[in-house]
Structure 1
């Protein structure tokens, strides 16, 4: 029996489930209750989503007297506010009040880092086009929106800087302290290397483009109390921010989230502003207040994925094996710190991707700019690091005249001596080579690459490209204290179960997975569990649902609560039936006590009558992790998730337009809690990653206004843009060797980077016009315009 099979046997015995076959075989992972873990289960709200019965914040019935707020936004990128004339605003029909910084009873700041650099309303100066200066409160949303346009603002313009490159040239300050990761002697190793390449890559940002925009609905209570319904990924932070702004204790504020219509990181910190405005207005006017911006204003006033300018240098030998890497990562962060520190840190953490750099130095440059403050986005800086690692592999491959996949294989992490990351964490479970070789064989990479080369050698207008790229992605919040979660489980006397946890549902299936964990623990039907809204009233001090950790953290917390209740139930049964605790077993729909089997609902009724406590608060904190930012050393990640993507494209060299002919994905989710939901996450992440690198382009005009501020000017991938052939598989042989929830792995962020395979395939197609002699050095996004310019540049050089 090999090591994987032994591990599976051990897990099966511990979890009281049927063991799987050899780890190399594709087999069902578990036998047990229908709707339990390791089984396909539709999203608990799927039918409600498609029938329109799923309730979002804007669907909550409005009490009589509800008012509506709308923001007044700046029309300068950097200017002093000399005067604002509100006379026409206040005289407009339906207007009840105008709020400015002077109306805030507490602190005019919603900075998540506590740096006091993110005012709710600008005071004396605006620092980006679209910055909120005031809010209009009116009887209807339309009245508030129209009135907000009537304010007459007198500005005194100041010089402004719009991008990271210009910010460095202008010696703009960092919005947060930079980071350096260093191992070995990179400068000395670089000077000794036989071959050296320097390059620069510009990587664009991305708008979250969630279906449901930002929204908050505040209902005032007695004394200092206020209840805020919101579409936020971080209810506890919104709670603390509202309390901070109102000048009250956190226990006076309740934040509720039933579900979000998408988040992707855009609702981790950016919702704080809207919650605060609604709460301040509600308490000031003693009436419920809702705020929901239009899409244009949402995109203008809220942050996005950080765009980067990366300067890199790599030294390598004749075989393309890397000897040294250096990199400087400058990011457009915007006017305030927000989460730019951890985002730019994480770009460095993932600048190695799946590759070992013997000597390395990476530096972050989080630049202040006069643009909206950028924020969290799926991958949280990781994609910007990974794509540079793949660019380096591409550079070496073109330099050495060989297949980029061979260069990747030669530089994978390996055995001792080749297993240490730039941040000094050991890569203990490196399955990247197996994932890649598995996909290479499954998707017939070698034969298909030869066919692509044969096609291109004929010449012609249509050129093809193919690329196979890996992903290694660390899982955990790098802010160690966020790696904790709580859950609350009630078992009612009729055997039904109430589940509440600190994670938020944004369509990713978190609630479904955690409910499956609870169903599995009690061996009861999934439909016997009621999943309730996330609320700060039940589980306090929660972490954001981010960093792909929602299931890892909240699933373990829920399991801890179940374990507590089950221990009491086992003690009760052993005493009542006079058997040993080992003779008490939870079976599908029943409890076996010695020779007697009792239906679950009947058993719970007996326990209730015996005054057994049937409720528990669970808690979990991720073990083993630690991180010292000052030294750039530690173990910031509990484990790694892996994946690989093979994409094939066709490019029209006369127009730059292209199609993705085929994509094959193989992704590692450990022992999947719910394979069908995980496959959906992999598919969606790939498409979103492909959009980031191909069509989604943010553009500001010279005065600093975001011009791509609506679906009419900003192109996300359409159904017609998906690969013509799209094969998605999970690595069914993978098992997480760390003690995660049922040995699963996170799935939200890691597959996002699989979209890089499309970008690399486009690069190969472009390179074919110059016989693959030169790396095209495409910047992202590789829009048809950029592809066409790259083709023409290579043709001119050739």
Structure 2
């Protein structure tokens, strides 16, 4: 049995493959329909499809098959078995097993075999309480049913409502009203994050009954089956909490939404229901014979769609681009050069390096609290298997500075916990599984534990702003005391928030470190080799030239491996250096999501009310808190056609526990998108919270900024009652390049015609709605940093090898480099080979990020080729029309250097440019459930003259779908009490899947648009299209608007904070006459929660009061003690020490040893007090103690005068079976207290 969604409690010592046992693979129809327990879900689906077509008494099994198709995914269904699924339910009652509910509903029998005795038959419900020890789930038998039965499945079980329905007429208004009231009273779901809210789950249950009710009156009827008006729908309802955090408030009857702060947290709630719906519900085929002949004339046509499922046709797409064959292989549409080896599984990633004799595996030990101080770390539970665990290290080390930023990442917790999941140390073991298990068993004791501050809205809404950076304004300075400019007729207000996003890579943070005679060879899944090299050298206090970092390719990055790859690389290198053995570190997904960080959450606040041109804003908006008033929330003043006369914005970014990465310089520049912004004032505010330091993610800042301004444009259009597209056009300069692109895409996508069709569709459909949106984009790109390329020509056969300073992270950089190389040299593409990158060629290079590394590396490669061609030109002149091979072989004979190196410099070679794009997205929603589909997406993007069109098209499509995930599927849910990430694996975190992409996906690269400042006249494509995905969010909002209009809600602006489904909250009216289900208007303002106090920022410059008094003694001291210090300084460094000596006693009492500057009185062996640490031995009272001499300067790069520096060394170890398993050395540097 596969562990599935749960980790095994105990690892089995022996695996027995039962997949070939014939008795467990049974598929028979006589004498009973029987399936063996080891039949896979895919095989069961195929069996039921055939059976339902052949036997009318088993026609219902077709619906079982279609429901199974909604379980998990293709891979799981291909290997997961019926018995495996049921045993998961048996062992974990909370497991949402669709198979269990299906089999229980149809009254299936489970045949169980024991080692002795006869077979035992149990129902699925009885099976849950049956002891399965020493037993096998042998077979499943499903019964026949005639055509008087109707089979529908929902994961809802409401016994009172079921009993009420018995004998009732489904055509009775009294029945509908009664069952709705009962469901409202009976269903009381629990609330355990990250499950959906109880309000949603209750509302969905009511909606599903109504949907079933509506479906029964809308199904096609082909046969002559007769039904009486007293027909009872025999629906089996079974309430089981589902996983997705969906619909946290209600769409009143038809998307009547309570206002509040909007954003993807809200829209995710609405849209991710498509995933929850698959978990929850199965719908009968529309061609089934049922009640239309009886009821068709009794139901209004606009309500008929309420009973239908959104059916998804096969995906299709169109890719259009321009190519010039005269320039090939440049501009040639070729697949990635790694495509075949990736598809075949031959492509090598870090962990594909063959096992090395003696290699070990490392795993992080993580904090389990978000706020507090560590007082003790007890690794003894992790070290019970002394024969297997080789080393354990718990320590604190500052990581190297990232990009010259002022603050440091801490590799290990300093003792003051910054967030749940912060690494406190590592475990090293002989297997990865053992290392992970041991790391989970380390016990950490805390003090001063507090409730963490997680939510951005809590901080922004609080009076205490100690966690918020006030920021600096950019653009026009518009204050609340400034009179509204002439021509302003409206001032809009609101807020917009985008949620966090995980860098969902196929390869988590991974590193392999191999000690060599020259130092360390490091194979890291990093985007920034130079940064990893520097971090390792700093932590180990070794020269950088002894660390060689190599990267062949990275299994996805999206920004997560720019600086955060340093964590695994530094920890792996630390252990490898101490143990002198190869050490691998591959983070589990849970560890990766807890420790690394996400795309930052951003909140854009804007506020005002509707004013006329003669009114002023001197008094300012009423009802603001002092903190909000001080910050000045966003205001937009517009005229009657939507022209922005002034705009003032405050942009809050949740940066987590460290301010190493800030949007302060980016937001004011990127916020305007393509709009005229002369009278705009934008401030960015970094907000610190108790979560992992947030990480740059694909299109950092640009994604949030463009989404925010597009939301504001939509708001303006609503206020001035103008077409949203026209409002956007009104705010773009007439000569702006995006203007012609808007016209082009409106024509090619048939936007105007489709808009009319959608309006007509929405008028005649109450429960299905469509929406469409057009969004423009300007994505600014800046070529920064230095990147080298090395090109070598081999004279024997004319082949060429290129090494460059970039990293292949899936974006196709190697293919583009090969194409420009072949084009410049004038040779076939297949003569060019790209070799893995390393820190030798890429010395002092920058990170692969920002969609520009392909540009910079291609530029460096082109320059290398030009150098080589210049060297070959004199040789060519001596030959008559030579072939390439003749030319290079002759050059070699003439001792011409056939290797060239060039470094791209942003100051010399790089010029900024903008990428323009326009997108039209069309969606359809099921109002009753929130199920959604992206029907069609048209993208027109300016990629210049593409170097590699197929790669650029793929980047556009991939970026768009990743961005779509923020608005439709993905959200990071935290435990509000403990600060833990609850959505930490694929079981509860859902990126878009293959059935979530646009059904009709059309991408066009703009023709005749060479980039005059771009490399080979091209533009970057890796990130920009991500920003266009907000069009899906806006299209969904437009669909909801139509449902609100049908519900009688005024066409005013509303904010999507939490979207809920509700049917019983209003009055249920007669569905067979003129009236329809309706609810009262519930629009009201929702105040943001306010917290009373916030913890000040950590790491103030003077925190000496937190240190023990001995710290300020007049003489330096060395403290040796068992256990960790209870209070630590932020300025510290740490090294692991491995001591295999068996003479150490089990206990070592604490003592203080005075020593001189050169330690001559305390050590037997005295060395030169250099900056590189040296190992010394101290013999006192027959005890052997190892320690590292204090550094002359702090490695944290905090400069203090030597006379004001005090040094504290703390040693901690654990001894078992007379072996020392870890020894910690911590060096703390602090200024002397005066």
Same fold (TM over 0.5): yes
Q: CA deviation at 1:357?
A: 2.1
In 2: Cα distance, 1:127 partner to 1:397 partner:
43
Contact 1:517 1:558 in 2 (8 A): yes
In 1: Cα distance, 2:493 partner to 2:683 partner:
16
Find out whether 1:62 has 2:355 as its counterpart.
yes
Contact 2:785 2:845 in 1 (8 A): no
**Residue 554 of structure 1, aligned match among 850, 853, 857:** 857
Q: CA deviation at 1:179?
A: 4.0
Write the deviation string for residues 163-185 of structure 1: whole angstroms up to 9, x where unpaired: 22333427465588834312365
Q: CA deviation at 1:609?
A: 0.5
Task: Indicate the residue corresponding to 1:322 in structure 2.
Answer: 644
Task: Indicate the residue corresponding to 2:991 in structure 1.
Answer: 716
Write the deviation string for residues 667-695 of structure 1: whole angstroms up to 9, x where unpaired: 11000011111111111111111111111
In 2: Cα distance, 1:498 partner to 1:242 partner:
29
Q: CA deviation at 1:29?
A: 2.5
Task: Indicate the residue corresponding to 2:867 in structure 1.
Answer: 564
Find out whether 1:123 has 2:414 as its counterpart.
yes
Contact 1:233 1:545 in 2 (8 A): yes
Task: Indicate the residue corresponding to 1:682 in structure 2.
Answer: 956
Name structure 2 gaps, 5 residues minimum: 1-319, 607-634, 1066-1076, 1085-1234
In 2: Cα distance, 1:792 partner to 1:696 partner:
32
Task: Indicate the residue corresponding to 1:613 in structure 2.
Answer: 897
- The DSSP-based 3-state class of the residue aligned with 2:659 is coil
Task: Indicate the residue corresponding to 2:772 in structure 1.
Answer: 466
Contact 2:788 2:841 in 1 (8 A): no
Find out whether 1:434 has 2:736 as its counterpart.
no
Task: Indicate the residue corresponding to 1:161 in structure 2.
Answer: 453
Find out whether 1:487 has 2:789 as its counterpart.
yes
Contact 1:466 1:649 in 2 (8 A): yes
Query: Aligned pair in 2 of structure 1 residues 656, 300: CA closer, same or farther (>3 Å)?
Result: same
Q: CA deviation at 1:345?
A: 3.3
- The DSSP-based 3-state class of the residue aligned with 2:441 is coil
In 2: Cα distance, 1:686 partner to 1:213 partner:
22
**Residue 668 of structure 1, aligned match among 903, 927, 942:** 942
In 2: Cα distance, 1:189 partner to 1:486 partner:
54
Q: CA deviation at 1:126?
A: 1.1
Larger Rg: 2
- The DSSP-based 3-state class of the residue aligned with 1:720 is coil
- The DSSP-based 3-state class of the residue aligned with 2:326 is coil
Find out whether 1:497 has 2:809 as its counterpart.
no
- The DSSP-based 3-state class of the residue aligned with 1:472 is strand
- The DSSP-based 3-state class of the residue aligned with 2:665 is helix
Contact 1:228 1:255 in 2 (8 A): yes
Find out whether 1:519 has 2:822 as its counterpart.
yes
In 1: Cα distance, 2:466 partner to 2:794 partner:
57
Task: Indicate the residue corresponding to 1:369 in structure 2.
Answer: 689
- The DSSP-based 3-state class of the residue aligned with 2:361 is strand
Find out whether 1:76 has 2:398 as its counterpart.
no
Runs of 4+ in 1 over 6 A off after TM superposition: 782-789, 791-794
In 1: Cα distance, 2:973 partner to 2:723 partner:
35
- The DSSP-based 3-state class of the residue aligned with 1:597 is coil
Write the deviation string for residues 341-362 of structure 1: whole angstroms up to 9, x where unpaired: 1x45323322111111231111
**Residue 476 of structure 2, aligned match among 177, 180, 183:** 183
**Residue 332 of structure 1, aligned match among 638, 647, 654:** 654
In 1: Cα distance, 2:322 partner to 2:864 partner:
30
Query: Aligned pair in 2 of structure 1 residues 113, 28: CA closer, same or farther (>3 Å)?
Result: closer
Task: Indicate the residue corresponding to 2:975 in structure 1.
Answer: 701
Contact 1:624 1:638 in 2 (8 A): no
In 2: Cα distance, 1:338 partner to 1:211 partner:
26
Query: Aligned pair in 2 of structure 1 residues 370, 235: CA closer, same or farther (>3 Å)?
Result: same
Task: Indicate the residue corresponding to 2:1041 in structure 1.
Answer: 767
Tell me whether 92-101 or 696-705 shows the greater mean CA deviation: 92-101
What is the aligned length? 715
Q: CA deviation at 1:338?
A: 3.2
In 1: Cα distance, 2:1062 partner to 2:693 partner:
27
Task: Indicate the residue corresponding to 1:135 in structure 2.
Answer: 426
In 1: Cα distance, 2:1064 partner to 2:903 partner:
54
In 1: Cα distance, 2:533 partner to 2:712 partner:
44
Task: Indicate the residue corresponding to 1:729 in structure 2.
Answer: 1004
Tell me whether 542-551 or 87-96 shows the greater mean CA deviation: 87-96
Contact 1:83 1:153 in 2 (8 A): yes
Tell me whether 352-361 or 203-212 shows the greater mean CA deviation: 352-361
1:263-274 residue pairs with structure 2 within 5 A?
A: 263-274=557-568
Q: CA deviation at 1:623?
A: 5.2
In 2: Cα distance, 1:437 partner to 1:541 partner:
45
Query: Aligned pair in 2 of structure 1 residues 49, 408: CA closer, same or farther (>3 Å)?
Result: same
**Residue 297 of structure 1, aligned match among 591, 597, 616:** 591
Query: Aligned pair in 2 of structure 1 residues 389, 785: CA closer, same or farther (>3 Å)?
Result: farther
Task: Indicate the residue corresponding to 2:731 in structure 1.
Answer: 411
The root-mean-square deviation of aligned C-alpha atoms, in Å, is: 2.5
Q: CA deviation at 1:189?
A: 6.7
In 2: Cα distance, 1:794 partner to 1:736 partner:
56
Task: Indicate the residue corresponding to 2:230 in structure 1.
Answer: none
Task: Indicate the residue corresponding to 2:1172 in structure 1.
Answer: none
In 1: Cα distance, 2:720 partner to 2:705 partner:
23
In 2: Cα distance, 1:115 partner to 1:72 partner:
27
- The DSSP-based 3-state class of the residue aligned with 1:666 is strand
Query: Aligned pair in 2 of structure 1 residues 143, 176: CA closer, same or farther (>3 Å)?
Result: farther
Query: Aligned pair in 2 of structure 1 residues 288, 753: CA closer, same or farther (>3 Å)?
Result: same
Q: CA deviation at 1:787?
A: 14
Q: CA deviation at 1:792?
A: 10
In 2: Cα distance, 1:384 partner to 1:794 partner:
35
Task: Indicate the residue corresponding to 1:88 in structure 2.
Answer: 381
1:248-259 residue pairs with structure 2 within 5 A?
A: 248-259=542-553
Q: How does the TM-score come out when normalised to structure 2?
A: 0.56
Q: CA deviation at 1:332?
A: 1.2
Contact 2:749 2:938 in 1 (8 A): yes
Q: CA deviation at 1:186?
A: 6.7
Q: CA deviation at 1:191?
A: 5.4
Find out whether 1:149 has 2:474 as its counterpart.
no
In 1: Cα distance, 2:405 partner to 2:528 partner:
16
Q: How does the TM-score come out when normalised to structure 1?
A: 0.86
Q: CA deviation at 1:611?
A: 1.0
Write the deviation string for residues 522-564 of structure 1: whole angstroms up to 9, x where unpaired: 1111111110111001221111110111111111011111111
Q: CA deviation at 1:655?
A: 1.6
Task: Indicate the residue corresponding to 2:27 in structure 1.
Answer: none
Contact 1:695 1:783 in 2 (8 A): no
Task: Indicate the residue corresponding to 1:748 in structure 2.
Answer: 1022
In 2: Cα distance, 1:27 partner to 1:203 partner:
35
- The DSSP-based 3-state class of the residue aligned with 1:661 is strand
**Residue 763 of structure 2, aligned match among 457, 460, 485:** 457
Write the deviation string for residues 424-448 of structure 1: whole angstroms up to 9, x where unpaired: xxxxxx3111111110000110111
In 1: Cα distance, 2:547 partner to 2:1007 partner:
45
Contact 2:642 2:722 in 1 (8 A): no
- The DSSP-based 3-state class of the residue aligned with 1:331 is strand
**Residue 510 of structure 1, aligned match among 784, 797, 813:** 813
Find out whether 1:235 has 2:529 as its counterpart.
yes
Tell me whether 527-536 or 185-194 shows the greater mean CA deviation: 185-194
In 2: Cα distance, 1:101 partner to 1:129 partner:
17
Task: Indicate the residue corresponding to 2:603 in structure 1.
Answer: 309
- The DSSP-based 3-state class of the residue aligned with 1:366 is strand
Q: CA deviation at 1:159?
A: 4.5
Q: CA deviation at 1:705?
A: 0.6
- The DSSP-based 3-state class of the residue aligned with 1:210 is coil
Name structure 1 gaps, 5 residues minimum: 1-24, 416-429, 578-595, 627-636
